[in-house]
Amino acid sequence: MPTLICNCNDTMPLDAAALSGATTRPAGSPAAPLKVHRLLCRREIGSFQSALDGTEDVIVACTQERPLFTEVAAEAGADGVVTAPVRFVNIRETGGWSQGASRDPATANAKIAALLAAAALPDPDPVPVVEYRSGGNVLVVGPAARGLHWAERLQQMGLEVTVLLDASRSPGAASERSPAGQGQPFSRAFPVHGGRLASLTGWLGAFEASWETGAGKSNPIDLDLCTRCNACIDACPEGAIDFSYQIDLTRCDSARACVKACGTAAAIDFERRGDTVTERFDLVFDLGDEPMLTMHAPPQGYLHAGADPIRQAERALTLGRMVGEFEKPKFFQYKESICAHGRNQTTGCSACIDICSTEAIRPRWQDGKGRIEVAPNLCMGCGACTTVCPTGAISYAFPKPDHLGRRLRTLLTTYREAGGRDAVVLLHGEEHGGAERILALGRAARAGQAQGVPPNVIPVSVFHPAAVGIELWLAALAWGADRVAVLLTGEEAPQYREALAAQMGVAQAIVSGLGYPVNAFTLVDGSAVTVLDQGLAQLTPRRATVPTAPFHAAAAKRETLAAAIDHLVAHAPSPVQELPLPAGAPLGAVRVDTQRCTLCMSCVGACPSQALRDNSERPVLSFVERNCVQCGLCEKTCPEDAIQLVPRLLAGDAARQAVTLHETRPFHCIRCAKPFGTAQMVETMLARLANHPAFAGAASERLKMCSDCRVVDMVEKDPGAASGATLQ
C-alpha cells in the first residue's frame, strides 16, 4: 500500500528508516523504503499522482490538504471516479512536535509508525443503515409573537408550516405583544392552532404531536372560526387582545365585551369544551422557553430555540437543510438470548436503559421474559449502552469491537516494535469537539503556546468516547499500553462521565489488585485546549511492563474481557487467587445461605448466562463463576432471600470450573417412595402450613406425597372431595 509522508517544509524530523517498517507488504518481504517529502502538497504533488497509478489504497500522512489530494485523485480517475481510494493520517498535530522539534523524536517516530500501520488496516465491514425521509412539514410551537414571526420565514424557505400557539411553557410571553403590522399573516397562508402541547414523540420525518384545546388549555378564541374582523380588539377595554388574536388572561377582567362584539361568528368562548388533536410532522421547531423534549440528545428533526433570536435564526437555517432523504449507520447489535434485563417478571439489569441519553431504549416483556427494544432512529451512536452492558447483549457495530480491538492491537504492537515505550492510548470522539481539541492543541504547540500531545500519547479516534469499555481498556494494557485515557469535552451527557468513571474504578481495582502500578485508567478533561494540555502533561509513565498478549479481540465482549484478564493475571507482579471488586462490577460470585435455600431452582431459571446450574438426577445447585455477570436476577428471584452477590475476580482455572453451592437429599413420597422434591423444601412447606386449617390432620400427610399419590389418597379417603381432581 503506497504510503506518502511529508515533513511539512522541514518542521518535523521524520525518520524514514524507522517509518518504513510500518508500511504493509507481503509476509517475509523487506519493508519498502519510504521517502520523506518536504512539500508533498506543492512542488512534489507528482509523487502523489504517481502513487495513484496502482489499484491499492494510498496513505497520505496529512489531513490539512485532504481536499486538495482528494481533488487530484478525482481528476486522475476515469470520469472523476477515484480508482485508488486515499486514506489520510494526521502526524503534524498529533505527532508530538513543538515548534518544529520534538521532546523525543524517536518516540514520536514510533507513534507515527503505529498510526501508519493502523491506517493500512482493512476497512470495517459495512453496517446496516437507518433511513429518514422528510418532506419539510414542520410544526412551529411557541408563543404567538415568536411562532408567527418564524412561521412566515420558514414558509418563505419552502417548508410546509403548521403553527401551534402555546404560551404555557413561556410564562413571560404574554408581554410579547404583536403590533398592528404583525401578528397573524394577512392571508391564511398556513394552519394556525391554539392549544397546549401535551406530548411529542418520534424523530425526523415521523414526529407525532398531540395538543389539548378547550377552557384553561388554549386561547378562548377559536382561530378557525375567527374572521379576523378585529371587532374584539376594538371592544376589549383592557387591551388584552392583539393581532395574533390571543387573549392575555392576565389583563382580562372577564367583562366579556369581546364575546358580544364577536357576535354571530361565535369564535370566542371562555368555556369551550376540551379536545385532543394529534397530527404527524417531519420537523418540530420549539420556541418555548423550556424544551418539550428534555433528553440530553433530542431526536434529529427536533430543534429547540427558546427566546434567543440568534439561536432561533441558527435553528431555522438548520431546518431548511433537513428536507429530503437521509441515512445514518445502525450503531448497535442486540443479542436477545443473553440479555439480563429480566426473567419471571423480575427486572435484573437495566444499565442500558438508565444510561441512554436519547431515551431510545425501552423495556419489553413477553411471556415473563424481559428484553430491551432499541429505536434505531433515536439512537445517536454514543455506545454507552454497550459499555455498561455486563453480558455484551448489546454491542457496538460502528465499528464492531473486534475491528476496534484489531486497530488498538496494531497501534500498540507497532509502536513497541518501532522502539516506543510507555504508550498512552488516548480515546477521543469524532464528535463533541474531541478531535478538534487535539488538532487545536497541536497547533498551539507548534506556536510555542502549549506543550502539545506528548510523543508517547497515541490518539485513537472513535465515533464516541463512551463506546469503548472495560474489555478493550484491559486488552490495551495486555497489548502493551502503559495507560488508557479517555478524553471528554463536557459536551457529552453527564451520565456518561459517571459511567466511565465507575467502569474505570472496576478496571483499576483489577490491575491494582494484581500488583500493577496505579492510575492505569484516566478521564482527561478536554473542555478547553489549555485544560487538555495540562491533563495530558500529567499522564506520567507508570512503567508497567507486560509482555504483548497473543490474543485478538473477539466480537463477544465477555471473551475479550476474559482473555485480557487471563493475560494480566498470568504476568501479575503480585499474583492473587481472589480479588474483591467494587459493587457493580460485571464479575463475581453468588453466596447461598444453605439454611434458607430449598433448592427450588428459581435462580437457575432466572440466570441469563448459565452461571447457575441444576442437575437432572439429584438436587444440586452448582455455579460457574466465569459466566456470572452480577446482574442480580438470581438474588431478586429467590423466594427465600438466600442469595447474595459477591463482586470479585477469581483468578485461574477455578473460575471456569463448576462448584457446588448447595445440595441436599431428595424427599421420597411416603406412599410410593418416588423422589419428587428436596427434603428441605418439604420440611419448609410443612412448617409454614402447620397452622393452616386446610392442611390439618390427614391432609398434612398428603404434602409428603407425590402428585399422583396425593390424588389416589384423596379418592380413597374422600371420594367427593376428589371428584374434580386430576393427575398433575
DSSP secondary structure string for all residues of 548-575: PP-----SSHHHHHHHHHHHHHHT-SS-
Identity of residue 697: G
Interaxial angle between packed helices 309-320 and 144-156, expressed in degrees from 0 to 180 and rounded to the nearest 10: 30
Contact 611, 627 (CB under 8 A): yes
C-alpha–C-alpha distance, residues 535 and 543, integer Å: 19
Residue 202 pLDDT > 90, yes or no? yes
Residue 143 pLDDT > 60, yes or no? yes
| 368 contacts: CB under 8 Å, gap ≥ 6 | 343, 344, 345
Q: Is the peptide bond before 399 cis (omega within 30 degrees of 0)?
A: yes
Average pLDDT over residues 637-658: 96
pLDDT at site 481: 97
Per DSSP, what are the bridge partners of residue 650? 578
**For residue 280, what pLDDT band results from cuts at 50, 70 and 90?**
very high
pLDDT at site 106: 92
pLDDT at site 536: 97
Give DSSP secondary structure letters for 139-183: EEEE-HHHHHHHHHHHHHTT-EEEEEE--TT-GGGGG----TTSS
Domain edges within the chain = 3-88, 133-326, 330-395, 399-576, 580-663, 666-717
C-alpha–C-alpha distance, residues 224 and 277, integer Å: 14
Average pLDDT over residues 486-501: 96
Residue 30 pLDDT > 70, yes or no? no
Alpha-carbon torsion 437, 423, 21, 34, what sign? positive
Quote the cell numbers at residue 26. 507481503
pLDDT at site 698: 67
Average pLDDT over residues 306-334: 96
Which element (helix H / strand E) includes 415?
helix 401-417
pLDDT at site 527: 95
Contact 108, 455 (CB under 8 A): yes
- Buried/exposed 453-465: b ≥16 CB within 10 Å, e otherwise: bbbbbbbbbbbbb
From residue 711, give the alpha-carbon distance in Å to each of 431, 663, 685, 689, 720.
Answer: 69, 29, 19, 19, 12
Q: Are strands 137-142 and 361-366 parallel, antiparallel or unpaired?
A: unpaired
How many helices and strands (H and E) does the chain possess? 21, 34
C-alpha–C-alpha distance, residues 282 and 675, integer Å: 65
pLDDT-above-70 percentage for the chain:
94
For the beta carbon of residue 273, count every other beta carbon within 10 angstroms.
Answer: 8
Give DSSP secondary structure letters for 169-235: T-GGGGG----TTSSS-SS--S-EEE-EEEEEE--TT-EEEEEEESTTTS-SB-TTT-----HHHHH
| 413 exposure class (CB count in 10 Å sphere: 0-12, 13-18, 19+) | middle
Identity of residue 174: A
Average pLDDT of the chain, as a whole number:
91
Per DSSP, what are the bridge partners of residue 276? 212
686 φ/ψ angles, rounded to the nearest 5 degrees: -65, -40
Which among 577, 589, 581 has a CA at the least distance from the CA of 659?
589
pLDDT at site 688: 76
Give the distance, in angstroms, between the CA of residue 148 and the centroid of all CA atoms in the same chain.
37
C-alpha–C-alpha distance, residues 356 and 360, integer Å: 7
C-alpha–C-alpha distance, residues 576 and 555, integer Å: 29
Q: Which one-letter DSSP state was computed for residue 441?
A: H
Per residue in 464-493, pLDDT (tens digit) is 999 999 999 999 999 999 999 999 999 999
Identity of residue 273: R
Length of the chain (residues) = 728
pLDDT at site 1: 84
Q: Report the SS3 class of residue 266.
A: coil
For the beta carbon of residue 534, count every other beta carbon within 10 angstroms.
Answer: 14
Which among 217, 232, 238 has a CA at the least distance from the CA of 184?
232
Per residue in 71-94, pLDDT (tens digit) is 999 888 766 566 678 999 999 999
Per residue in 149-181, pLDDT (tens digit) is 999 999 999 999 999 999 888 876 655 655 555
Quote the cell numbers at residue 174. 404574554
pLDDT at site 362: 96
- Out of 299-303, 562-566, 587-591, 692-696, least confident range: 692-696
Residue 22 pLDDT > 90, yes or no? no
pLDDT at site 82: 60
Per residue in 392-418, pLDDT (tens digit) is 999 999 999 999 999 999 999 999 999
If phi over 0 gives left and psi between -120 and 50 gives alpha, with beta otherwise, what is residue 486?
Answer: beta
Integer-rounded Cα Rg, in Å, for the chain is 34
C-alpha–C-alpha distance, residues 453 and 445, integer Å: 8
Residue 728 pLDDT > 50, yes or no? no
**For residue 706, what pLDDT band results from cuts at 50, 70 and 90?**
confident
Per DSSP, what are the bridge partners of residue 372? 363
| 36 exposure class (CB count in 10 Å sphere: 0-12, 13-18, 19+) | middle
Contact 382, 452 (CB under 8 A): no
Q: The whole model's pTM is what?
A: 0.88
Contact 339, 179 (CB under 8 A): no
**For residue 726, what pLDDT band results from cuts at 50, 70 and 90?**
very low
Contact 114, 22 (CB under 8 A): yes
Contact 51, 58 (CB under 8 A): yes
Residue 185 pLDDT > 90, yes or no? no
Domains 133-326 and 330-395 share a fold: no
Looking at domain 330-395, its CATH class is: alpha beta
Average pLDDT over residues 228-236: 93
Quote the cell numbers at residue 644. 447474595
- 133-326 folds as FAD/NAD(P)-binding domain (3.50.50)
Side by side, the strands of the sheet bearing 275-281 are 196-201, 207-213, 275-281
Per residue in 440-457, pLDDT (tens digit) is 999 999 899 999 999 999
Contact 521, 473 (CB under 8 A): yes
Residue 326 pLDDT > 50, yes or no? yes
Average pLDDT over residues 681-696: 76
Q: Give the CATH number of domain 580-663; options: 3.90.660.10, 3.30.70.3270, 3.55.10.10, 3.30.450.40.
A: 3.30.70.3270
Task: Output 96 or 278, whichever has higher pLDDT.
Answer: 278
Per DSSP, what are the bridge partners of residue 642? none
pLDDT at site 224: 87
**For residue 497, what pLDDT band results from cuts at 50, 70 and 90?**
very high
pLDDT at site 21: 74
From residue 435, give the alpha-carbon distance in Å to each of 372, 440, 522.
Answer: 32, 9, 18
C-alpha–C-alpha distance, residues 649 and 580, integer Å: 6
394 φ/ψ angles, rounded to the nearest 5 degrees: -110, 125
Quote the cell numbers at residue 247. 387573549
Residue 727 pLDDT > 50, yes or no? no
Give the distance, in angstroms, between the CA of residue 545 and the centroid of all CA atoms in the same chain.
33
Residue 619 pLDDT > 90, yes or no? no
